[in-house]
Amino acid sequence: MQKGDLDMQATYRALQITAPGKLELVERPTPAPDPGEVLIAVEACGICGADVGDIERPDITANPPRVPGHEVVGRIVAAGAGVPSVWAIGKRVGVGRFGGYCGTCDQCRQGRFQLCPMKPVVGATCDGGYAEMMVAQANGLVSIPDDLRAEEAAPILCAGLATFNALRKSGAEPGDTVAVLGIGGLGHMALQYARSMGFRVVAVGRGQDIAAEAMRLGAHVYIDTRIDSAVERIRTMGGAQAILSTVGHSETIAALLPGLSPRGTLVLLGVGADPLALAMGPLVGGERRVIGSLTGTPWDNERALGFSALTGIRPVIETMPLERAAEAYQRMKSGDVVFRMVLTMKETHHAHQ
Ligand SMILES: [Zn+2]
Ligand SMILES: [Zn+2]
């Protein structure tokens, strides 16, 4: 194992899921990375909506208990045997929802690493970034551009990548109309990417409190579903070539389907418990498509980060220190965060600069 000059502490602080819904601040011995792994000094970790499932329904057999968090930015402080030299000590890296891939399964051999059945799911099947240190598989690492601050880059690794890739897969072309359903952690990134990619951007949300912010983030039109029929408004604009759904409420999504243009695509990013019941007529009659979209590969993630740096796109964030993670998580869960809550590990960050 290679170690950096950075003086590594014998222990580090982490938030572990001691019981379903309960985050506990603990001190853990600093681990040594195994072959193919690196040890990262975490600088920032975003709190994603998917963390709710990880924290409320954790794998209680995990010993020690799981550390959540999958929007992680930090620096490599130690590398195990066989780690490629590109992932050198001191390099700034990120880890998103998927922490690597097997490289040999049918999906991996087709380059679809996000579909690898063996992939570690960060914060769920392996420890994540609500911590000062984290071990990660080298093949899941993402290089972080220098001009992105850690707390700004973190949410791009999941919320940014998910929406950036969904737009790329949607089939929409510059000049087309794209509707974004749900203006939250994912939606606020989708609006910015969609605007920069040259689409006519329709934000669909509930209530007026978010309207001005949606327009500021890049929407050409904001539709408040409490006042207006989103389908009628979108139809008067000629229909949407793509609708990106970031919500999990199946009836809301199904109701928007008639707003799709013929050959249009409904892209699902949010997941809810109820089945999605869609009218078959518009699907068959207009050759419309419904697809699901995951985040993406480490390569895709570097594209999302690079595009964000190039176009000045940044998440709208609020930061809180690691030791207040339980409070930050409760705020996110209650919806009391403008767009994205990010945990920062300032002491570690500055001590290692
Ligand atoms: Zn996420
Ligand atoms: Zn695989």
Q: What is the CA(193)–ligand 2 centre distance, in A?
A: 29
Residues contacting 323, CB < 8 A, separation 6+: 13, 25
Q: In sequence order, what are the beta bridge partners of 118?
A: none
Cβ-proximal residues to 223 (8 Å cutoff; 6+ apart), any chain = 202, 203, 204, 205, 230, 233, 234
What residues form DSSP beta bridges with 45?
A: 72, 343
Please give the distance, rounded to the nearest whole angstrom, from the Cα atom of residue 56 to the centre of ligand 2.
28
pTM of the shown model? 0.94
The secondary structure element, H or E, covering residue 234 is: helix 230-236
Give the number of the ligand closest to the Cα of residue 295.
1
Ligand 1 center to residue 184 CA distance, Å?
13
pLDDT by 10s per residue, the chain, length 353? 676 655 578 999 999 999 999 999 999 999 999 999 999 999 999 999 999 999 999 998 999 999 999 999 999 999 999 999 999 999 999 999 999 999 999 999 999 999 999 999 999 999 999 999 999 999 999 999 988 999 999 999 999 999 999 999 999 999 999 999 999 999 999 999 999 999 999 999 999 999 999 999 999 999 999 999 999 999 999 999 999 999 999 999 999 999 999 999 999 999 999 999 999 998 999 999 999 999 999 999 999 999 999 999 999 999 999 999 999 999 999 988 889 999 999 754 443 33
Q: Which ligand places an atom closest to the C-alpha of 155?
A: 1
CA of 52 to the centre of ligand 1 (A): 10
Residues 202 and 145: beta-carbon distance below 8 Å: no
Nearest ligand by distance to the CA of 96: 1
Largest CA distance in the chain: 65
Q: What angle do CA 197, 200, 202 make, to 5 degrees?
A: 115
Q: Which ligand is nearest to the CA of 139?
A: 2
CA distance 318 to 335: 13
* The pLDDT of residue 7: 55
Q: How far is the CA of 74 from the centre of ligand 2 (A)?
A: 25
Choose among 218, 261, 205, 263: nearest CA to 238: 261
CA of 97 to the centre of ligand 1 (A): 6
Helix (H, G, I), strand (E, B) or coil at 353: coil
From the CA of 100, the nearest ligand is 2
Q: For residue 283, how far is its CA from the centre of ligand 2 (angstroms)?
A: 33
Give the pairing of strands 72-79 and 37-47: antiparallel
Ligand nearest to the Cα of 162, by number: 1
- Distance (angstroms) between ligand 1 centre and the Cα of 225 equals 26
Does residue 155 have a cis peptide bond before it, meaning omega lies within 30 degrees of 0? no
> Residue 301 in contact with residue 141, Cβ under 8 Å?
no
Q: How far is the CA of 242 from the centre of ligand 2 (A)?
A: 30
Q: Shortest CA distance to 203 belongs to which of 225, 185, 181?
A: 181
Parallel, antiparallel or unpaired: strands 177-181 and 92-95: unpaired
Q: How far is the CA of 261 from the centre of ligand 1 (A)?
A: 29
User: Distance, CA 323 to ligand 1 centroid (Å)?
Assistant: 21
Question: Quick check: helix, strand or coil at residue 120?
Answer: coil
Q: Which ligand is nearest to the CA of 297?
A: 2
How far is ligand 2, taken at its centre, from the CA of residue 112, in Å? 8
**How far, in Å, is the centroid of ligand 1 from the Cα of 48?**
5
Residue 33 alpha carbon to ligand 2 centre in Å: 21
Cα 110 to middle of ligand 2, angstroms: 9
Which residues have CB less than 5 Å away from ligand 1 (the ion)?
Answer: 48, 50, 158
Place of tokens 């924290």: 55
Query: Which of the 8 DSSP states describes residue 33?
Result: P
